[in-house]
Amino acid sequence: MAEKARRVDDALDRALPLRHPERLLASMRYSLLAPGKRVRPVLTLAACELVGGEESTAMPFACAVEMLHVMSLVHDDLPCIDNDELRRGLPSNHVAFGEGVAVLAGDALHCFAFAHAAEATAGVPPMRVLRAVAELGKATGAEGLLAGQVVDIEHFGQTEVGLEVLEYIHLHKTARLLEAAVACGGIIGGAEEEEVERLRRYGRAVGLLFQVVDDVLDVTRTSEELGKTAGKDLAKGKATYPKLMGLEKARLLAEELAAKAEEELQGFDRNIARPLRHLARYIAHRHN
């Protein structure tokens, strides 16, 4: 995983060199190249290899997935949304570059992700590329990430938010992009339809798992350990899994989701599926 993450970092650096206008590109690179786990792009690469594809053919989409993820982080940290001044152990983009540039940097990353995926992908039938581009578009738009973000804002500070609403928020805000990351890897790698659907279900379980663990870490770790502000959700009155279920039940839910994700990998070659099994366990037991 560490080796794949390093290759993703190198590919991101090559994809977005510093050029004019320098302040905008510097802002984009500041957040895109900040130290991160690269879980989403690694999922894309692992899913592609699982169905017989080559890492090199999936790398542009892996980079695009990370660009879209970083866009969401830059915008999420803005004062008008989550108002967070720390991200990945560094000052948030709007703190470092100002709110206006941060908004535009996020917009630019959103646009560039699709251009890069479409232009840099080589050796893949065009219809596969088109389908994967559509997958990313739906995952980040009004059917996915932004839908979850809006519902999250609408319920900010409300005391009557139930598990059904909380699950909707996180299935869209967090899980949908993780699901798309895995599905795109399968599509680019030439997976059969039934294989894509199994990968999609794996990604959905892993995505919700990621958020449940995030909520647990938010109340059990420090800001220094997390690289972002700890305890901010509870301080702002936001609904979280530990708040609604209790800490131990939230941890049990995480274990159930990890097992569900691994179950979807049955039927694939066990050795080739090992990275995806490992990633599910890594997400379940991570410390930041």
Query: 4-23: per-residue pLDDT in tens?
Result: 999 999 999 999 999 999 99
Kindly report, residue by residue over 36-90, the tens digit of the pLDDT: 889 999 999 999 999 999 999 999 999 999 999 999 999 999 999 989 999 988 9
pLDDT of 228? 65
pLDDT at 158: 76
Look at residues 282, 275, 284 and name the one whose alpha carbon lies nearest to residue 209: 284
pLDDT higher than threshold 80 for residue 174: yes
pLDDT for the residue 286: 84
Please tell me the number of Cα atoms within 13 Å of 256 on its side-chain side: 8
Distance (Å, rounded) from C-alpha 105 to C-alpha 229? Answer: 22
| Max CA pair span of the chain | 52
- Residue 199: pLDDT above 80? yes
pLDDT 10s digits, 240-286: 899 899 999 999 999 999 999 999 999 899 999 999 999 999 999 88
Across residues 94-101, what is the average pLDDT? 98
Are 64 and 116 spatial neighbours (Cβ–Cβ below 8 Å)? Answer: yes
In the chain, % of residues over pLDDT 90: 82
Residues 227-238, mean pLDDT to the nearest whole number:
68
In this prediction, residue 156 carries a pLDDT of 80
**What is the pLDDT at residue 234?**
66
184 has pLDDT over 90: yes
Beta-strand (E) ranges in the chain?
86-87, 90-91
pLDDT for residue 224: 73
Q: How far apart are the first and last CA of the chain?
A: 16
Instruction: Tell me which DSSP letter residue 268 carries.
Output: B
235: pLDDT strictly greater than 70: no
What six digits make up the tokens of 249?
């039940």
Mean pLDDT score of the chain, rounded to an integer?
93
Q: List pLDDT tens digits, range 145-156.
A: 999 999 998 888
